[in-house]
Amino acid sequence: MTSAKIFSAKARAKINLTLHVGQMGGFENLNPPRPHSPDKEALAKMHPLNSLVVFADIGDDLLARAAGTFSLNIEGAFADRLGDNDKNLVMKAVNKTSAVTDIYTKLSYVLSKKLPVSSGIGGGSADAAAALRLLGYMNNDIEPDIESILVEVGADVPVCYLSKTCIMEGVGETLTECPGLGQLFAVLINPDIAVSTKDVFDIFDAQYDTQKTTAFSQSNGDGSLLEMATFGRNDLQAAAIQIAPIIQTVLDELQAQTDCQLARMSGSGATCFGIFKTQNAADHAAKTLQDMHPDWWCVATLLGDENEL
């Protein structure tokens, strides 16, 4: 008896080069949500976003094979940082799919957790998106059925499912692909801390500045990937630094490295990225900072769509 064929998918790290955040419930000037977006009551508790998103060439790895029951096993460097499997977004994604479609979901998953947890780079969302992608592969590509529930699993799941350079808007359900913008040499650093997204948004809401809305969509501007990133900002960065001041230390040390063109936090933190002129500069910065801070997660990577450098 032969064993079932194993399918694999890469859950690439998501990086918010920019993250412009509107006031909670401020959806008056955005396109109406799609049919499977949250209802009005839920939208009132959410924030409209406009974010230039890219994906790294590193990420978690997910394997799947047909089985008699659905199961999830987690291994890897950050496996012990995750909580109960029942709360994992892979479980939520598969259970949601099973509840609303006739897709075959009895798969055995093995997740190799290589990305920091609760770190602002979409690790859990990317894992869930990879699981849904594998469901599609093993059910002869039923993308319409899968895509209908993405935003219900999590705000970052649609963009992670796409896994391409794009502008993300609304509550994450509106994506505009940005092909041809190339790639960037980068260093990603997480100072071995997890930051609560809810806590960051609570501080942001308490200090919300209406002037921020004047540049809410500026990341849609023309230009190179670096120009678009430099033109924008991350509205959650200041709030995250209040919770974890070490984020500012990471940003300062990234910016101090030779040929660093931009240093910024991704998502709600605490992972930060530095953009560098060359791969050698990025590699050197990653090694220098890792030697200085052995307890930090520090890696050189390439951001953006493949084969566009």
Q: What residue ranges do the domains of the chain occupy?
A: 7-177, 183-304
Name the nearest CA neighbour of 164 among 33, 12, 7: 12
Q: With the C-alpha atoms ordered 283, 16, 192, 205, is the resulting torsion angle positive or negative?
A: positive
Block residue for tokens 């529930």: 149
Q: Give the per-residue pLDDT at 158.
A: 95
Cβ neighbors of 249 (< 8 A, separation 6 or more) are 191
* Domain 7-177 CATH assignment equals 3.30.230.10: yes
Encoding tokens for residue 199?
């806590």
Encoding tokens for residue 249?
């230390």
Block residue for tokens 């993250």: 19
Q: Region 267-294: what's the mean pLDDT?
A: 98
Pair 128, 153: CB distance under 8 Å: yes
Block residue for tokens 């540049």: 215
Encoding tokens for residue 31?
């396109």
CA distance 10 to 294: 26
pLDDT 10s digits, 226-272: 999 999 999 999 999 999 999 999 999 999 999 999 999 999 999 99
CA distance 181 to 255: 23
Q: Give the per-residue pLDDT at 219.
A: 47
Phi, psi of 61, rounded to the nearest 5 degrees:
-120, 140
Q: What confidence category does residue 211 fall into, taking pLDDT thresholds of 50, 70 and 90?
A: low
Higher per-residue pLDDT: 278 or 151: 278
The DSSP bridge partners found for residue 224 are none
Higher per-residue pLDDT: 308 or 274: 274
CA distance 128 to 282: 29
Q: Give the per-residue pLDDT at 118.
A: 86
Among the residue ranges 33-42, 141-150, 233-242, 249-258, the one predicted with the least confidence is 33-42
Residue 3, judged by CB atoms within 10 A of its CB (0-12, 13-18, 19+), counts as exposed
Q: Which CATH class is domain 183-304?
A: alpha beta
**Cβ atoms within 10 Å of 293's Cβ, excluding its own:** 17
DSSP-derived 3-state class of residue 26: coil
Encoding tokens for residue 53?
């998103």
pLDDT 10s digits, 159-176: 999 999 999 998 898 999
Q: Region 14-21: what's the mean pLDDT?
A: 96
Q: With the C-alpha atoms ordered 300, 304, 308, 309, is the resulting torsion angle positive or negative?
A: negative
Give the pTM: 0.91
Q: Region 141-167: what's the mean pLDDT?
A: 85
How distant, in Å, are the alpha carbons of 98, 99, 136, 167 from that of 109?
A: 15, 18, 14, 30
Active site residues: 14, 156
Q: Give the per-residue pLDDT at 38.
A: 63
